[in-house]
């Protein structure tokens, strides 16, 4: 799992399955839970807080071995609504989420149906690939026995059953505290329809080399959504089943290209940004039990390039390759084996440019998947104003806004 600082406080929130997964349903049902929890832990903690939110979500009924391309749209829509709403709650409570010492929230996709301890009818926790996310079942989450100090559970019938099932799968319980948080009024909004069966979502496809690119400065919830959904496309791309080694390629913008960014003096270095990306990915991907985390890292050179590259090799053999990029294309036009690209609505033109270049090279075009852009429009924060930038929604989802806030904190300290 991700590297952990001893000064941080690690917590887990278990959220049972909702009958509706619309953004309004998530807000109505889980709003009181998140508000009460975040308000309480932010006031009681003197150090950094890391909160894992296990969100129960089954994209395809009771099927666990799903084809990711067919449920990508619905999954990213649900995950985006959860991350966005968490950001809204943090905004309204004036809780920081982007700087050192702020709350670090990581949403874990939990394949769990209310009342069912095992979603997979034939679970095999001894297989290495079954211990990797970003979608995990309850048994895998329990077996990870992470260094959580407290397990928070929703005080409802479904929440109590989820907690009971979770603790029964843990085995000898670690020294966790358990606290219950009151659930809001369960929403009865109609659910959104499943993904339309068209284009790349109409047939079952498996991907073994998926790419994403970005600056990833001061990792925020928008980055977490993008990274999680890129890894999602590799879900169930098991080495043991098909004989191919899945690779997650992350192009991270080199320092030289960022010199004209606003508040550039507060930009994180490539090494820092790469480490934050890996820390987050390991948090949502590696659920190995204590003492069995078999993860290796290897710095390597790229033939014909001065770009830095680091491979992180997971227990299953899956490779996370972080590579320095100096243009908008990166490995997508130098590695023919890349088969899919994940972009945001803001960068969809980049995906088209990549495929245009690949066509010119005589290569097969990439399947391009798009995630939502998290913004402050519509329902949400009461404090989202330019008059209070520290509490603005933008300060939760924008690297530039986070750097501006960092500058304000430094200036305030210097003038006091």
- Rounded-to-integer distance, Cα 267 and Cα 19, Å: 42
Q: Which two tokens stand for residue 228?
A: 């999680």
DSSP 164: H
Residue 345 confidence (pLDDT): 83
pLDDT for residue 47 is more than 90 = no
Looking up tokens 């890894």 gives 231
- Of 243 and 21, the structure prediction assigns the larger pLDDT to 21
Higher pLDDT, 185 or 56: 56
> What pLDDT was estimated at residue 406?
81
- Most distant CA pair in the chain, distance: 62
| DSSP 3-state of 276 | helix
With H, G, I as helix, E, B as strand and everything else as coil, classify residue 185: coil
- Comparison of pLDDT for 397 and 147, the residue scoring more: 147
pLDDT score of 340: 96
Q: Which two tokens stand for residue 203?
A: 């047939």
Q: If pLDDT is split at 50, 70 and 90, which confidence band does 130 have?
A: low
Indicate the range of 59-73, 84-98, 239-253 predicted with least confidence: 59-73
When mean pLDDT is compared across 16-30, 125-139, 273-287, the lowest value belongs to 125-139
pLDDT for residue 392 = 53
Asked which of 109-123, 134-148, 210-224 is least confident by mean pLDDT, the reply is 109-123
Averaging pLDDT over each range in 61-75, 107-121, 200-214, 259-273, which range is the top one? 259-273
What is the number of residues in the chain?
416
Overall average pLDDT of the 179-185 stretch: 79
Mean pLDDT of the chain: 81
Q: What confidence score (pLDDT) does residue 236 get?
A: 58
Tell the burial category of 414 from Cβ atoms under 10 Å away from its Cβ (0-12, 13-18, 19+): exposed
Of 248-252, 284-288, 410-414, where does mean pLDDT reach its minimum? 410-414
380 pLDDT higher than 50: no
What is the band of 388 on the pLDDT scale with cuts at 50, 70, 90?
very low
pLDDT of amino acid 371: 92
Average pLDDT over residues 30-47: 80
Q: Tens of pLDDT along 156-166?
A: 999 999 999 99
Average pLDDT over residues 118-122: 57
Kindly report the backbone phi and psi dihedral angles of residue 312, in degrees, each rounded to the nearest multiple of 5, phi listed first. -110, 120
* Predicted pLDDT of residue 295: 93
**Per-residue pLDDT reduced to its tens digit, 268-277:** 999 999 999 9
Specify the higher pLDDT residue, 218 or 386.
Answer: 218
Which helix (H) or strand (E) covers residue 365, if one does?
none
Top-confidence residue, 340 or 186: 340
Q: Please, are residues 8 and 48 in contact by the beta-carbon 8 Å criterion?
A: yes
**So what's the pLDDT on residue 272?**
95
Does residue 129 have a pLDDT over 70?
Answer: no
Return the half-sphere exposure (C-beta side, CA atoms, 13 A cut-off) of residue 38.
Answer: 26
């Amino acid at each position: 799992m991700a590297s952990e600082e001893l000064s941080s406080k690690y917590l887990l929130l278990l959220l049972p399955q909702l009958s509706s997964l619309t953004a309004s349903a998530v807000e109505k049902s889980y709003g009181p839970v998140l508000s009460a929890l975040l308000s309480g832990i932010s006031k009681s903690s003197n150090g950094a807080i890391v909160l894992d939110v296990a969100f129960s979500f089954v994209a395809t009924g009771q099927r666990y071995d799903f084809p990711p391309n067919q449920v990508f749209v619905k999954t990213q829509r649900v995950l985006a609504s959860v991350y966005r709403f968490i950001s809204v709650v943090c905004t309204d409570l004036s809780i920081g989420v982007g700087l050192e010492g702020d709350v670090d929230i990581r949403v874990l996709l939990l394949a769990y149906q209310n009342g069912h301890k095992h979603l997979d009818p034939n679970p095999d926790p001894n297989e290495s690939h079954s211990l990797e996310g970003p979608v995990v079942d309850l048994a895998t989450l329990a077996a990870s026995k992470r260094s959580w100090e407290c397990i928070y559970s929703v005080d409802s019938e479904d929440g109590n059953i989820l907690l009971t099932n979770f603790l029964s799968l843990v085995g000898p319980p670690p020294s966790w505290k358990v606290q219950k948080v009151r659930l809001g009024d369960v929403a009865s909004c109609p659910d959104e329809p499943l993904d339309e069966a068209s284009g790349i979502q109409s047939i079952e496809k498996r991907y073994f080399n998926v790419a994403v690119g970005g600056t990833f400065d001061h990792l925020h919830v928008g980055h977490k959504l993008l990274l999680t959904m890129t890894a999602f496309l590799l879900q169930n791309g098991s080495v043991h089943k098909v004989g191919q080694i899945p690779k997650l390629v992350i192009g991270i913008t080199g320092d030289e290209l960022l010199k004209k960014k606003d508040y550039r003096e507060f930009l994180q270095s490539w090494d820092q940004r790469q480490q934050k990306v890996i820390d987050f990915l390991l948090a949502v991907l590696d659920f190995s039990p204590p003492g069995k985390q078999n993860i290796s890292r290897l710095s390597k050179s790229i033939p014909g390039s001065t770009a830095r590259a680091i491979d992180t090799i997971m227990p299953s053999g899956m490779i996370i390759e972080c590579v320095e990029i100096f243009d908008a294309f990166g490995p997508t036009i130098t590695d023919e084996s890349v088969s899919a690209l994940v972009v945001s609505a803001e960068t969809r033109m980049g995906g088209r440019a990549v495929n245009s270049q690949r066509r010119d090279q005589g290569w097969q075009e990439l399947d391009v998947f798009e995630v939502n852009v998290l913004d402050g429009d519509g329902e949400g924060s009461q404090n989202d104003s330019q008059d209070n930038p520290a509490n603005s929604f933008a300060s939760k989802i924008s690297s530039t806004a986070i750097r501006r806030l960092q500058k304000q904190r430094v200036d305030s300290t210097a003038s006091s």
